[in-house]
Structure 1
């Protein structure tokens, strides 16, 4: 049986693969009904609940279908018996975005809880650094 860390790592990797594939059902799988997401675009108060989370993805998929990538570059996972968190850096952008800013990475933080023996995402946060702060 996989350890909690292995389960959470696999969950995040499945989610990223679903995002990359534009698979909406795969993206929302393993998310709690009361999920909260803070994302790069508005709304500024975040996306709250699984229905709003689901509804937030189609515009991203449309943008990504124009040639953008979404790839996990690094992933760190910390687990307890009932809660866990993971943070990752992802290559996310069009070929032109990545050529213009080759070091830019999307920052991802995920909070999870164990629900009936299964890990579910309760919080997801995406951000990009302010390019004005780059060296």
Structure 2
């Protein structure tokens, strides 16, 4: 059985692949009912709960259908026995956006907790650096 950090890495890689495919069920998998997400677009006070998290994704999928990528560039995981966090940089943009700013990366931070022996994302934070 893989160690906790490896399990979390796989969970995040599967999530990113689901985002890239526009697979809403895959994006929602392994997230807590009480998830809190701070995202790039409003609302600035964040998104609270799995239903609101679910509702936030269709506009992103529409934007992504223009040919945008959502690919993990770097990923670091730190895991304790029942809580963990991960931070990553992702290539997230249309080919035109990435050609204009080839080093631009989406910053991702995740907080996870283990419930009933299973890792779940309880907090998600996405941001781009401010120019």
For the superposition of Structure 1 and Structure 2, which TM-score range results when normalised by the shorter chain?
over 0.9
User: Is residue 2:92 matched to residue 1:92?
Assistant: yes
User: Is residue 2:113 matched to residue 1:130?
Assistant: no
Dislocated runs of 4+, deviation >4 Å: none
What residue in structure 2 maps to residue 36 of structure 1?
Answer: 36
What's the offset of the Cα at 1:36?
A: 0.2
Query: Scaled by the length of structure 1, what TM-score is found?
Result: 0.96
Residues in 2 aligned to 1:66 and 1:106: alpha-carbon distance in whole angstroms: 18
Residues in 1 aligned to 2:82 and 2:30: alpha-carbon distance in whole angstroms: 15
What's the offset of the Cα at 1:89?
A: 0.3
What residue in structure 2 maps to residue 112 of structure 1?
Answer: 112
**Partner deviation per Cα, 1:70-103 (whole Å, 9 max, x = no partner):** 0000000000000000000000000010011111
SS of the equivalent of 1:99 reads helix
1:44-83 matched pairs, under 5 angstroms:
44-83=44-83
Ranges in structure 2 where 5+ consecutive residues have no aligned partner:
none
Query: Scaled by the length of structure 2, what TM-score is found?
Result: 0.99
> How many residues align structurally?
131
Residues in 2 aligned to 1:36 and 1:16: alpha-carbon distance in whole angstroms: 18
SS of the equivalent of 1:14 reads helix
What's the offset of the Cα at 1:40?
A: 0.2
RMSD (CA atoms): 0.4
What residue in structure 2 maps to residue 13 of structure 1?
Answer: 13
